[in-house]
Amino acid sequence: MSEDKPALICEREGPVAIIVNNDAPINRMTLAFIDELEQLLPELAEDDSVRAIIIRGAGEENFSVGMNLKQLGQGIEEKGGIDALLDQRLRVLAMIEHLEKPVIAVLCGYCLGGGLELPLACHFRLAAEDGAQIGLPELDIGTVPAWGGTARLTRCVGRDQALDIILRAKKISGPRALEIGLVHEIWPNDQLQQKALELAQELAAMPPWSVAGVMRCVVGAEHASMDKALATEREAVHKVSSGKHQLEGMMAFLEKRKPDFSGPPD
């Protein structure tokens, strides 16, 4: 990548932030991209004007082929060892997963290795109807997924499908990914980016405190006891109770109109 070319671009469409991995056409996840993403995510988390986030690759050909393997040695040296390098990636993906704002990954073309592990940490995944190649093919190069891919893929599609994809280094299509529950929707390639934006705008129009409460309740719920999950839900209920957005939602229902959840919630 050229030194004067930014590794990451963050664009805005109203309340939607669009994060672009700026390494077209194959959109490798470079050291600079991960560093900049780690810095950007807390800023988006704190920015109340951002209510939904899209992550995509530059151009319309590929989401990402994963890590730039030519930078592996450099990354190990800069971060102080392989564990530190991998820990950063796990940390960044955990930040995405635990954001209290919905994050949408837009999958087209190559979505391989880290190019699937990052989307697995997102809350919604939309894929192209044609041409997507989605997988964790690390066994083809004698290694294993290292950014949480084994755990997140298993929790997403189940043990049998995860083993089939990983052990056979499969690259599956958008329709197949939809069939096994790996993605939420597929769209014709020329509609994919717009559909992702429409979904983000739909989510951004929801009351932000309620969205944040649901995110806290649902993300990680499968690892919590029922008592803990119910306590988290009750906390979310108390947080939104009597707030301006709850009042607006109820009044809109009674008045048979669309609610307006703009502005601060209290």
Residues with a known catalytic role: 117, 138
Query: Nearest to residue 214, comparing CAs of 193, 191, 232?
Result: 232
Query: Nearest to residue 38, comparing CAs of 96, 107, 85?
Result: 96
Got the DSSP string for 60-101? SS-SB-EE-GGGHHHHHHHHTSHHHHHHHHHHHHHHHHT-SS
Distances in whole angstroms, Cα of residue 185 to Cα of each of 42, 93, 105, 129, 236:
28, 22, 11, 9, 28
Residue 80 falls in which region: left (phi positive, over 0), alpha (psi -120 to 50) or beta: left
